[in-house]
Chain A
Amino acid sequence: MHKFNFWLIIIGILVLIGLFYLLNPKSTAPAQSVTAAKIFDLVIKNKKLVSGPETLTVTEGDQVIINITDDENEELHLHGYDKSVDLEASKSAQLIFSANLTGRFPYELEKSKTEIGALEVQPK
């Protein structure tokens, strides 16, 4: 291989690795070790979310507490985690779990197959 090519490739790779570490926020900021409980209050009316965030963002390992009130008898189902909770009309129901799977998991009203929002679990 030509000497010029060799150095070109080496420098290119070094620049790429350098940029990777420079841009990655995790390599500059210390990881947070405190895991807090994340509480979300959701109100659903007429199969639509009227109060509370559509996207529930948490970090891997967080304790997640979701309080849900619906104006109908329904069942809330969280995909991926495969957790369900029965909803009684106008009564608050609660879903508690720890977020140990990373990714984006939609939740829906199971009976009417209506997607309401999604839980996003960011890696630590």
Chain B
Amino acid sequence: MKKFMVYSLWLMVFLLSTIYYLPSTTYAHAFGTLYTLPLPLWLYLWGAGAALIISFLVIGFFGKSPTQFSFPKFHLKINPLVILFLKSISLFLFWLTILTGFFGDPSAVDNFAVNFFWIIFLLGFTYLSAVFGNIWETINPLKIIVDWFGQLKPILNYPKSLGYIPALIFYVLLIWLELLSGGLGVKPLSLSRILLIYSSLTFLGILIFGRVWFQYGEFFSVFFGLIGKLSPFARPGSLLEEKPTHFSLLLFIIFMLSSTAFDGFRATSTWIRFYYNNLAPLENFLGNSGSQIIQTILLLLSPLFFLNFYLIAIWLMKLFSRSALSVRNLTLHFAFSLIPIALAYNVAHYYTLLLIQGQSIIPSLSDPLNLGWNLFGTADYQTNVGLLGASFVWHSQVFIIIIGHVLAVFLTHMMALKIFNRKQAFISQIPMLFLMVLYTVTGLWILSQPLTIGG
């Protein structure tokens, strides 16, 4: 019986992998247009100044009262029936997304799958996880499916030296699909195929390495796991007591920062000017997809900018505090302090997309399969573009980035107190503070740059 279950999972992997070869007819349409204006210069300057001033306030605060702080934690006890309900919803939405990609409206803007996956799930669920914690751990549809097959005996032991590299590769592929695939990721049919391929790769990972794949290889588990650490409902100590065991998780967090920054920067006229003056000539050597290749390389290199400054700050921290801990050790110890900044980048950049473009889910819910249904009477709902005024968006973006900054500065200090004495902690925070200010000002600067077409 057990063998039969294992074979059927292998068969599923095989069947799912053949789906890509089905014929397709699709067309892309403008999807994910941001209607936000660049930040006015004065607000950018104020935000930058505020980040600096508030950082010193936090440091000064700790300088005088070195008491141990802990974030307020709440315990969320959920009825098992509610969990069962959430799991069913999750599984239902998973299949609905796949189905509507294949059979729903062929236009990306009006398709349920495209709106649900890229906007509601990828953005909305991220923000939900930041508030309620790592819910994904419980309602991950792929996990629910794997659970049906009971205990599976792994074929190989997962090589721990690989760390989170598989999840990181999937992360890079996801961002590539979103930004650089020339619409591949937002064509409903190809999106469904990609989701099925991803699912089958996940099943394959589990068949070979066992459930440890959810920890290291399944992108969404790693991503929502990191974001969920910020939640007041998170497991106590998941942010301050735990730290990455592998360098690749730091890279993963840095990529959260750099991919959002890359996306934002790509839409600015500053970038276009730089691109045409310095990189466009290279396109001649690379043929038709030259621009795509160059941008892919830049996306891959983007973490280096942020990583470079992080490593410098850690090195200076070691120098100032005369700590006996190795740079490697310190690098990992402070890695999670970057999560709030990464999340703030994401929220400031994309929350308007969730609230404006996300409304497209309303009409598509009433007719997910493009059969002329009107299940909830919302099939003719028109997106309300005027929901958020430009002035509100500006102020909220600056506010969000500063909140992320304050949290990060606060966290690094808490983390410093764990390994240093008070005086060392105080001194060690100066390079970290400048690092956080640099990240924050970079984020604000990108938001303040004039935009160009295609942005």
Could you tell me which A residues sit within 8 Å of B by CB distance?
Answer: 1-2, 4-5, 8-9, 12, 15-16, 19-20, 23-25, 54-55, 79-82, 100-106, 108, 113, 115-118, 120-123
Contact = CB atoms under 8 A, between A and B. Distances in A.
B50 A16 contact: yes
A20 B53 contact: no
Contact of A113 (B29, B43, B64): B29
Give the interface centre of B36, B53, B453 by most chain A CB atoms within 10 Å: B453
A97 B451 CA distance: 23
Given A106-B453, A117-B453, A2 B53 contact: no
A118 B451 contact: yes
Given A9-B61, A23-B46, A54-B453, A101 B385 contact: yes
A23 B35 contact: no
Nearest to B35: A103
Contacts of A24: 42-43, 46
B37 A19 contact: no
A19 B451 contact: no
Contact of B37 (A4, A15, A102): A102
A82 B61 CA distance: 51
B88 interface: no
6 contacts: A104-B34, A106-B33, A113-B29, A117-B453, A118-B453, A121-B37
B60 interface: yes
Given A79-B30, A79-B33, A102-B389, A5 B54 contact: no
A61 B45 CA distance: 27
Contacts, number: 88
Interface of B: 29-30, 33-38, 42-43, 45-46, 49-50, 53-54, 56-57, 60-61, 64-65, 385-386, 388-391, 393, 450-454
Contacts of B33: 79-80, 106
Q: Which 3 residue pairs of A and B lie closest in terms of their CB atoms, listed nearest first?
A: A102-B390, A103-B35, A123-B391
Contacts of B38: 104
Contacts of B386: 100-101
B37 A103 contact: yes
A7 B30 CA distance: 52
Contacts of B452: 54
Contact of B454 (A1, A15, A55, A115): A115
A8 B385 contact: no
B53 A15 contact: yes
Nearest to A81: B385
Given A5-B61, A80-B385, A118-B453, A16 B53 contact: yes
A17 to B, nearest CB: 10
A27 to B, nearest CB: 10
